[in-house]
Structure 1
Amino acid sequence: MASVKNNYQFEDLLDKHQLKKTAPRLRVLSMMYSKNTATSQPDLESVMNDIDRVTLYRILNVFEEKGIIHKVFDLNGTANYAVCHSDCGANHHHDEHLHFNCTGCKNVYCLNELTLPAITLPAGFRAEDFTLYASGLCPRCDKKNPARA
């Protein structure tokens, strides 16, 4: 993920999306930009215990609607959220990249640098969303794996 932005950049991001600059929104942005993995609402709740669950849910919801973050599911079906790094916009995400689920540490990584092939659907099908998942071991967990060849 991108390097951590400062509060002025977060304020500009909120302005760009016509969102009020509140302390909880700025904190959520700071936390999400500081991670190199997707994160779940329960994980955010555990480190942001001064932001109540409903407020955090609403922040994540509006950030997703505005194209600031996108939702990706882990191997257990839990929704995780990751920062959008492309031209995502209101109600339209361009997160057509590989989502890697590590079976060791259970983290979800957005592999934005991979170029995915174009997918042509059969006649009559129209895709409204596209998600590609892979699972295995991330580099950190692979190094810990003694069975590694």
Structure 2
Amino acid sequence: MARILAIDYGAKRCGIAVTDESQIIASGLTTVDTKDLLSWLEEYMGDEEVELFVVGEPKRLHGEPSESEKLITPFLKKLNQKFSDIPVKRIDERFTSKIAFNTMIESGISKKKRRNKALVDQISATIILQDYLYNR
């Protein structure tokens, strides 16, 4: 079975999480500079089989799209052009950064490491992927 790959898309960097090959466990993989994301995905997919992309869908409290969606839409078009055989599922990502930060506190990660926004993005991608796995 192929993996599912989740992306927490951001203006500067993107958190990446993947499942195991059985699609049971979501794990944070890395953080990639946004400008390098498509080339990173191409390289990753040369080594790993991916059957689905799960991309966070940023929304405001009342459910309307946030300003970040304007950045994600062009990326999704490029993603679909480059990997047209792999479907994309969108998952509501409201509060994932807050949940990620709280998870870091609860797990005993030091204050210095909690300031690492790349780690927050990676954990956020993992939360997005876990949400997808739980609700599919």
Name the TM tier (shorter chain). Answer: under 0.3
Scaled by the length of structure 1, what TM-score is found? Answer: 0.26
Select the structure with the greater relative contact order (CA < 8 A; seq sep ≥ 6).
2
TM-score (norm 2): 0.28
- Higher share of residues assigned strand: 2
Greater Rg, structure 1 or structure 2? 1
